[in-house]
Amino acid sequence: MTTPIPKQLVVYDFDWSFVDQDTDRWILEVLSTPLRRELQTLNEEGKMQYTDIVAHCVAKLQATVGSSRQEIEDALRSLPVHPAMKRAVLALKAASYPQTTLFCLSNSNQVFIDVILKHHNLTDLFTRITTNNSHWNEDGKLIITRRIAPDAPKQHGCKIGCSANMCKGEELEAFLAEKKLAGDDYSRVIYVGDGGNDFCPLLRLRSTDLALVRKGFELEQRIKKEGGLKCQVKYWTMGWEIEEHYAEGGIARQL
Ligand SMILES: [Mg+2]
Ligand SMILES: [Zn+2]
């Protein structure tokens, strides 16, 4: 009798987790310092929802600075990805034990993530990318909208601080439920994240699951201040340490 190979799910936040920068801030830093400042100021004022602020700044970048699709895509392609993070995920995909599914759960947007993954030949890495909506319209302008529109009949019901555009905890649970119905039950979930909005999904992980938390960012502070996690927690600073965690934890290996 052969024992079935266990399946695991590796969930990646994108900004400052999978990639070594923040996509929204980066393109403004590359293309317009005044708009980078505007993003900062609007965010600190706290009157506008964050995805709406990014949409506003990107629209203004195209309308007033005149940045083209090519320039925006070039800016994304210049965004740093740690070579060890790339190696680590490719090893996960290649390993035969356990079988790994990769799921990207991000507050960036579809176009930014697609351009970066394509540039690194990683288009097929993630089974699913759940993020904000974006597309190039017929005038060649990038339009960004919230994952949950402000006028959508069903808003998320999260009470622990997720922004109105998306609750990552609810999105993770929906993905797990959908996969379970299809016969994929993950014996372990590993979550790689850094941001305050990664706290909600971590609260929903089990004692057999693992959070890989980037040091020095808001997620670390929320874990220390608010607590309540059942999952194991390990910390990392740079991509090469993720590679070590995967190797040490038997997260990626060949049978
Ligand atoms: Mg992040
Ligand atoms: Zn939430």
**pLDDT tens by residue, 48-105:** 999 999 999 999 999 999 999 999 999 999 999 999 999 999 999 888 788 999 999 9
For 7, the enclosing helix (H) or strand (E) is strand 7-12
Distance 79 CA to ligand 2 centre (A): 28
Interval between CA 208 and ligand 1 midpoint (Å): 23
pLDDT for 254 equals: 61
DSSP per-residue string spanning 81-117: --HHHHHHHHHHHH--BSEEEEEEEEEEEHHHHHHHH
* Spacing, Cα 17 to ligand 1 middle (Å): 5
What is residue 247's predicted lDDT score, i.e. its pLDDT? 87
Q: How far is the CA of 105 from the centre of ligand 1 (A)?
A: 9
pTM metric for this prediction: 0.96
> 193 CA distance to ligand 1 centroid (A)?
6
Q: How far apart are the CA of 107 and the centre of ligand 2, in A?
A: 12
Q: Is residue 225 classed as helix, strand or coil in its secondary structure?
A: helix
CA 167 to ligand 2 centroid distance, Å:
4
Residue 157 alpha carbon to ligand 2 centre in Å: 8
In angstroms, what is the span from residue 255 Cα to ligand 1's centroid? 33
**Full strand arrangement of the beta sheet holding 99-109:** 142-145, 128-136, 99-109, 7-12, 188-193, 210-214, 232-236
Judged by its nearest atom, the ligand closest to the C-alpha of residue 158 is: 2
> Over 70: is that where the pLDDT of 2 sits?
no
Give the per-residue pLDDT at 3.
64
Cα-to-centroid distance, 27 and ligand 2 (Å)? 27
Residue pLDDT, tens place only, 146-194: 999 999 999 999 999 999 999 999 999 999 999 999 999 999 999 999 9
Is the domain spanning 7-21+80-131+149-248 CATH 1.25.40.80? The answer is no
The per-residue pLDDT for range 35-49, each reduced to its tens digit, is 999 999 999 999 999
Q: How far is the CA of 199 from the centre of ligand 2 (A)?
A: 8
pLDDT over threshold 90, residue 123: yes
**For the chain, domain boundaries:** 7-21+80-131+149-248
pLDDT at 227 over 80: yes
**Does residue 255 carry a pLDDT above 70?**
no
Section 217-225 average pLDDT: 98
> What's the confidence (pLDDT) of residue 96?
77
Q: Average pLDDT, stretch 191-216?
A: 97
pLDDT-based confidence at 4, cuts 50/70/90? Answer: low
State the Cα–Cα distance between residues 225 and 160, nearest whole angstrom. Answer: 13
197 and 162 in contact (C-beta within 8 Å)? yes
The answer to whether 149 and 182 have CB atoms below 8 angstroms apart is no
Determine the distance separating the centroid of ligand 2 and the alpha carbon of 86, expressed in angstroms. 28
Distance from residue 195's CA to the centre of ligand 1 (Å) = 5
User: Long-range contact list for 92-97, CB < 8 A, 24+ apart?
Assistant: 92/10, 92/246, 92/251, 92/252, 93/125, 94/252, 94/254, 95/252, 95/253, 95/254, 96/5, 96/253, 96/254, 96/255, 97/5, 97/6, 97/253, 97/254, 97/255
pLDDT at position 56: 98
